[in-house]
Structure 1
Amino acid sequence: MDAGDSLQAFAAKWRAAWPEQTVLDLFVPPAQRLSAAAWASLLFELHSAAFTLEHEAVRDGKTGWWAEELQRLQGGAPRHPLTQALADVDAPFAAMAVPMLSVVRDVPLLAGDTTSLFARLRPFAEAVSACEAAVFASRAHATDADSLIAEWLVLRLPDGLAAFDRGMLPLHLRARYAAFADNAPPPALRRDWLAELEAAVPRTAAGNWFREAQRRFLRRRIRALAADAGPRPGPGHVWDAWRAVRSR
């Protein structure tokens, strides 16, 4: 498998988690298709390594490898197909490594409420946001980090609520539904969590077309989850993708 095939294999994993992205692909400027797919797939791999692996040794090993790879990417010697596809981008990739590892040391995260949880994740999200702005030749908006955090949390739903870290669910919701414990999460808990996440998604436009598309898609994903519906692309996603790309 050559580098191009490997990149597409990783992109397929990302698109399987976010089927809405197939709509966005139709509107991506041709010159940015490769970097957009590589960046989105890289974010998905970092999220998976940092937040979805239960066993500490495996989690530390994978995130440690990625931290080194981010440093190698900025140093001009990437090894992975995704980072190789971003090798020509002048971005502070290495700056993502330390905040990522700092967050990983605290997994599973136990935050008192949603505000505290966002604060714990914000240094990592801000580092990612700065890189994303460089990838898409834009300036990061202050709200882009919150958009990223909300995306990371929504990516854990619905199955993450039954995982080892309860999908990073804040303690105030765990206390409200104390009977949840090791049982299946009640519908009311998921509804309340989705309401808090929807409120946390920035209302203002993002700093680049890619993040703006994700922000719009995220709001639709939350509403779909609240209605117990799957993430199926629809006309609304076409509108969101067109508006996001056109506005930037």
Structure 2
Amino acid sequence: MTDTTALDSFLDKWRSRWPEWRVVEVFVPVAQRPVALAWFSLLQEFTDAMNIAGDPLPADAKLAWWGEELRDWQQQRSRHPLGRVLEPHRAPWFELAEALPALIRLREQPRNEEQAFETAMPLATAIAEVERVLFAPPATGRWTTAVAAQLLAARLEGAGAAAIPVQAGTQPAPSQPDWAARLLQHWPTRASGPLPRRLASALARTQLQRFKGSGEPVTTLAPPRALWLGWRAARDS
């Protein structure tokens, strides 16, 4: 398999998971499109490892491999096809590698809402710091909470009830739609951050709004709806 073919296989996984991206990426500057596509394809690899079904050992080994790969990116060395696109950017890859174990902890059912966000926040922070380098957003603005909510949403969509916090005392655990609603409260409609993040966040947020329960598919947005959503996200700069 050539490097180009191998790269395309990872990019196609992202495109298959988020077909609306082909519509909204028209708002991304042309020079940033390959980087954005590679970056979100990498994050999809991490999400898949978090939501592994069955024996977690293969996924844990994969995350350990990714940790070593990202540390090599810090030294301007890469083996993975996605690294050919991303590694030339002098982003804090080491810090991202150090935050990957949060994906393993996110598989555990949290005690409460606060613990859920505390678990997601180190990885969300590392993701945001990489995006500061990849996409050079304005110096102001924080989008780590929105990224943390997106990580928790991906866990809910992949694991269902196992992702919902166990409430303390006599308060019952929320339903899947209730937990989705709580996550949306932490996830502003007008997200800050660089344009590619705002677009990806808008797609993930509207998917969570339409989420009914694990195992129930969420329909793909019609192109006009996706285009309108992308326009709004691009405007919110």
2:67 corresponds to which residue?
67
Gaps of at least 5 residues in structure 2 are none
How far apart are the structure 2 equivalents of 1:65 and 1:247? 37
Match of 2:202 in 1: 216
**Change over 3 Å in CA distance of 1:140–1:111 after alignment to 2:** farther
> Aligned pair in 2 of structure 1 residues 95, 198: CA closer, same or farther (>3 Å)?
same
Is 1:16 aligned to residue 4 of structure 2?
A: no
Q: Which residues in structure 2 correspond to 1:86-235 (within 5 Å)?
A: 86-101=86-101, 103-104=102-103, 106=105, 108-139=107-138, 143-161=142-160, 166=162, 168-172=163-167, 176=172, 189-226=175-212, 230-234=218-222, 235=224
Which one-letter code corresponds to 2:27 in the other structure? Answer: F
Structure 1 gap segments, 5+ residues each: 178-187
C-alpha distance 38-198 of structure 1, shift in aligned 2 (>3 A): same
| Higher alpha-carbon deviation: 211-220 or 113-122 | 211-220
- Quick check: 2:23–2:226 contact (8 Å CA) kept in 1? yes
Q: Which residue of 1 is the match for residue 28 of structure 2? A: 28
Structure 1-normalised TM-score?
0.82
- Partner Cα distance (1:195, 1:247) in 2: 23
Greater mean alpha carbon deviation, residues 222-231 or residues 36-45: 222-231
Give a deviation string over 1:184-211, Cα, whole Å, max 9, x none.
Answer: xxxx812211111211213443120011
SS at match of 1:230: coil
Query: Identity of aligned pairs, percent?
Result: 30
Partner of 1:38: 38
Helix, strand or coil at the partner of 1:26: helix
Aligned equivalents of 1:132, 1:202: Cα separation in 2: 18
1:236 to 206, 225, 228: 225
- Range that drifts further, 209-218 or 137-146: 137-146
- Between the two proteins, the alignment pairs up a number of residues equal to 233
User: Match for 1:207: what amino acid?
Assistant: G
Q: Structure 2 vs 1, CA of residues 24 and 129 (structure 1 numbering), >3 Å: closer, same or farther?
A: same
CA contact (8 A) 2:120 2:151 kept: no
The CA deviation at 1:246 is 5.1
